[in-house]
Structure 1
Amino acid sequence: MGAKAQAEAIDALNAEAFRRLIRALKDKPGFGPALAEAAQDEVVYAVLRRHGILKPSLFERVEAALETVRPMLATHGGNAEVAAVEGNRADIRFLGACDGCPASQLTFYAGVKKAIQDQVPEITEVRQAKSLGGGGADTVHFTSPFANVPGGPWLTALTLKELPDGSTRFLELDGHAIILSRQGDQVTCFKNACAHMGLEMTDGDLANGILTCPYHGFRYALESGECLTAPEVQLQPHTVRVIGNRIEVRIQR
C-alpha cells in the first residue's frame, strides 16, 4: 500500500471511529452540551469538522459565500474578508484596491451582500466594516474567527503602530508568554511554546512569517499556527481583536 493510500485509509478509519463514538454517546445525559464545550477548542473543532461530525459554523458559511465573489473582486485588484459574525449580522471588510474605492458601495450591495444573504439566509444584516486600523477608538475589527470562544478577559497587548505589517513580537501578557504576528490585515496570537516539548521560541529564526524553534528545528507558519515539520500538531492560539488601533488578546487557559 502506498503512503497516500495508507494515509487515506487511516483517515477513513478515524472518521468511522468518531461516528461510532458519537452514536454510542449521543443519548447519554449531558452529551450535547459536553460536545459543544469540547468543540470550542480550535483543534477539536477542526478535527470534528474534517470528519463531518460537526456542521460548518455560521462564520465558515459566510466565508464560503464570500469566496464565491472573490474572483470578481480580484479582477479589480481587491479582496474582502469576514471581519465579524455576531447573531444574524455579518461585517465584511474590503481589502486592497476595493478598500476606499468609489464603486465599493455598489460592489458591496450588488455582489457581496447578495451572495451572503442568498447562501446564508440566517444572516439578515450585512454591514461594510472599515479597514484595519480605521474608524474611531471604539470601532471593533475581529481578526480571529474564534473571537467568541470563552477565555480570560480581553487584554491590551500592543497598538497597530507597535506591530507593523510583516512583524512579529514576543511578549509577556498577564503572566503568559505569547507570540503576536501581523501579515497585512491579519493579526494572530499564539502561546510561545513549541508543540514538540513546550519550549519557548523567542530566540528562534524568523523569516517570511515562518518561525523555527531553536531547540529541535520545528517550523511554524505564524499566519495559521500550522507546524510545517509535523502537520499533526500546531501552536496553541489565543483569540485576537483590533479595536481602533488597539490590539487586544484573550488568553485561552
Structure 2
Amino acid sequence: MNAHELTPTLRDDLAGFIGDIERLESIVATWEEEPRSVVAAHKLAIEALNSEAFRRLIRALKADPAALAAMKSAASDELVYAVLRRYNLLKASLHERVEQALDSVRPMLKSHGGDVELVGVRPPKVEVRFKGACDGCPASTLTFHAGVKKALQDVCPEITEVVQIKGLSADAESGVRFISPFALNAEGNWIPAGMLSEFPDRIVRSMSLENRKVILYRDGASITCFENACAHLGFPIHDGEVEGGIIICPHHGFRYDLASGECLTAPEVQLQPHAVRIVGAKVEVRITA
C-alpha cells in the first residue's frame, strides 16, 4: 500500500467524496480483524463528535429565524444535505421516502418477472408504472392496491392519491396467467369462500364475507374477487350482464374487465380488488382495506 492510495483526491463534488471514502473502506476491509476494529471504533468516535457538534449548531441556529432560513437554504446543497442526512439531522425528502417504499416491494415484484418505476411525485399525488410481467398482468390491480399503493401510503402518509400509469411494454409472455405476488403465501385473514366446484365457469357469484359484499368470477383455473360496488356511484353490479369477461353495471352501463377490475368506460377508475387463492379444491379470499 502506498501513500497515494490513502490520500483523498482534492475535489468538491459529492460523488467524488463518496468515491474516496468507499475506496478507503475497501482497503480497510482487507486488513486483519484487530486493525479493522480499531479503525471502525475510530470512525464511530469521530462520527459521534461530529453529530453532537452539528446538533448543537442547529439548535443554536433555530433560535434565530434569519439563521434558520439560511440553514434551510444551505441544506438544499446536495453535499450539505447528504452529510446532515448521514447524521439523521434532516428527515428524508418525500422523493427519497417514495423510492424507499417502492424498493420495499420490488423484490416481490421481481420474483415474478416484474417491476415498478416512479413516474412522478406531485404532492399529494404519486404516479407509478408497472414494468415487465406486471404490466398488463390480470392480477396487476391487486398488486397495485395490496402492494405498491399500500407501501407508499404506509411510508408517506401525506400522499393521498396513488395513480397507476398504464405501461407501454409488452414483456409479459402472451397467454400466461400471473398471480399477484401479494396474494401468494400471505399469512392470516384468509376467509373460506367455498369449493372451486361451486363456482361455475364465467359466471359472476355474489356473497358476503366479513360483512363486505363481494363478487367472484371464475375463468378456467383463475378466480378473481372484487367489491360488489360500481366505481361510478357504488351501486351493486352482481346482476350485470357478462359478455366475454366484461361485466356491465346494470344501473349506468359502466363496463369492467373481470380479470383486472379495470373500467373500460372510465379508465381512471376500477373495481376494488380482493386477494384470492386456491388451496387444494378450496377458494379463499382475503379482504383488502
* TM-score for the superposition, normalised by structure 1: 0.48
Query: As a proportion of its length, which structure holds more helix?
Result: 2
Bigger Cα Rg: 2
Bigger relative CO (Cα 8 Å, ≥ 6 apart):
1
Relative to total residues, which structure has the larger strand share, 1 or 2? 1
